């Protein structure tokens, strides 16, 4: 099963983060965070800087807010999507921060982008890479416990 978020445009100034969260409630194979339609909002004095020069640093952390120094995964979404294989169940926090906007002379410029996330989950009864393995329910079986004390390097049976 693949889940997609709605595409919405977000804008932010240099170094100002947009923060998202994603709840994973079942075992998932992977989830992916991507950015698309990266462009400037406002006027730029320096026309040599383009949308490809802007970095969209993505920091992801399980169970806590990520920062530039503390995170579980990171990637520049303007260069490649961030793929997390076998993510833990629970809440994931995603912070996206535009960088390299200072190359423009206008301080009112913002980077605008759309964010998309995909989560790949196996159907019921399947697991493993590419969901190719079957899952089985394990049963607990209790055995009687025997105590075999060691006396002078030999085992001695004790009958109960």
115: domain CATH number is: 2.60.120.380
pTM of the model: 0.68
In a domain, 41, yes or no: yes
Instruction: Tell the burial category of 20 from Cβ atoms under 10 Å away from its Cβ (0-12, 13-18, 19+).
Output: middle
> What phi, psi does 40 have (nearest 5°)?
-95, 150
Q: pLDDT tens digits, residue range 32-81?
A: 888 887 777 665 444 445 556 678 899 999 999 998 899 999 999 888 99
CA distance 82 to 33: 5
Q: Which residues contact 144 (CB under 8 A, 6 or more apart)?
A: none
Domain with 80, as residue range(s), is 2-134
Instruction: Tell the burial category of 123 from Cβ atoms under 10 Å away from its Cβ (0-12, 13-18, 19+).
Output: exposed
In a domain, 159, yes or no: no
In a domain, 149, yes or no: no
Q: pLDDT tens digits, residue range 90-112?
A: 999 999 888 877 655 556 778 88
DSSP annotation of 103: G
In a domain, 156, yes or no: no
DSSP annotation of 88: P
Identify which of 125, 116, 102 has the alpha carbon closest to the alpha carbon of residue 54: 102
Q: How many distinct structural domains can be found in the chain?
A: 1
């Amino acid at each position: 099963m693949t889940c997609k978020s709605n595409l919405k445009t977000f804008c932010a100034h240099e170094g100002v983060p947009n923060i998202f969260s994603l709840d994973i409630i079942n075992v998932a194979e992977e989830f992916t965070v991507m950015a698309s339609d990266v462009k400037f909002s406002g006027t730029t004095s320096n026309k040599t800087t383009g949308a490809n020069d802007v970095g969209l640093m993505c920091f992801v952390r399980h169970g806590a807010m990520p920062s530039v120094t503390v995170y579980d995964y990171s990637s520049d979404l303007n260069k490649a999507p961030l793929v997390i294989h076998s993510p833990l169940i629970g809440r994931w926090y995603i912070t996206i921060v535009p960088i390299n906007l200072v190359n423009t002379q206008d301080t009112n410029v913002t980077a605008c982008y759309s964010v998309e996330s995909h989560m790949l989950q196996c159907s019921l009864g399947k697991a493993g890479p590419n969901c190719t393995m079957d899952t089985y329910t394990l049963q607990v079986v209790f055995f009687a416990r025997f105590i075999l004390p060691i006396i002078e390097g030999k085992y001695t049976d004790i009958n109960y």
